[in-house]
Copies of this chain bind each other. A is one copy, B any other.
Amino acid sequence: MILAAERNIGTGGLAGLKTRELAREIGVANGAVYNLVEDMDELTLRVGSRTLARLDAALTAAESDGTASPRETLVRIAVAYCDFAAENLELWRALFEHRMSPGKPVPEWAISEQMNLFRHIYRPLAELFPQRTPTELGVMARSLFSAVHGMVLLGLEQKLIAVPVIELRKEIAIIVGAMIDGLTARAA
């Protein structure tokens, strides 16, 4: 069922995820879906978990692609993030668009899976800025991620700002490089 849900989100986004369709696809009665998962939130989070695992693998692959300075590593994972989003557009969007039903908190396991991905940014930053505290590095990782996320989001949006992916990758590399250079100069 998770695979069927992944296929549906991958094609039609979160709006494409419908209990009735899922039940039909996996060949069970509508109500039986809720014997398999607690609710649609859980199902969406399970799909998100698979997306995050593939993103994790993509970032790891980008890091291990030959030796690189911490600065270069940060540029590489930013570009890899852009590529992943472009190639998994709907599943990637679903990660950010999904809202839990009112009053339900995001489960701990899902939060820690998300947070775990920040290590890709944190590690090279810790190498670059050994004098910073873990809290400061965490803030820096968050800022850097959000900035890259914004460039990818609006760049792939095809609305106000539509950029061909090949251009977007270049722009991201320039901006991430500049941010790191600026932060390094200030720290020196």
> Which A residues are closer than 8 A to B by beta carbons?
96, 99, 106, 114, 139, 142-151, 153-155, 159-161, 163, 167, 171-172, 174-175, 177-183, 185-186
Is A178 touching B171 in the complex (CB atoms < 8 A)?
Answer: no
Across the interface, which residues of B come within 8 angstroms of A167, CB to CB? 139
Is B174 touching A178 in the complex (CB atoms < 8 A)?
Answer: no
Expressed in whole angstroms, the Cα–Cα distance for A89 and B64 within the complex equals 40
Expressed in whole angstroms, the minimum distance between the Cβ of A95 and any Cβ of chain B is: 9
Query: A146-B161, A148-B147, A150-B148 given as contacts; is B114 within 8 A of A171 (CB)?
Result: no
Expressed in whole angstroms, the minimum distance between the Cβ of A175 and any Cβ of chain B is: 5
Expressed in whole angstroms, the Cα–Cα distance for A83 and B56 within the complex equals 33
User: A186 touches which one: B143, B159, B160, B181 (CB < 8 A)?
Assistant: B181
Across the interface, which residues of B come within 8 angstroms of A151, CB to CB? 143, 146-147, 150
User: A181 touches which one: B99, B150, B160, B181 (CB < 8 A)?
Assistant: B181
Across the interface, which residues of B come within 8 angstroms of A153, CB to CB? 146, 149-150, 153
Query: A150-B153, A182-B185 given as contacts; is B143 within 8 A of A174 (CB)?
Result: yes
User: A179 touches which one: B114, B149, B150, B175 (CB < 8 A)?
Assistant: B175
Expressed in whole angstroms, the Cα–Cα distance for A167 and B167 within the complex equals 32
9 further interface pairs, Cβ-Cβ under 8 Å (given A145-B154, A149-B150): A96-B159, A106-B159, A139-B167, A142-B161, A143-B174, A145-B161, A148-B150, A150-B150, A181-B186
Across the interface, which residues of B come within 8 angstroms of A139, CB to CB? 167, 171
Across the interface, which residues of B come within 8 angstroms of A161, CB to CB? 142, 145-146
Expressed in whole angstroms, the Cα–Cα distance for A43 and B184 within the complex equals 47
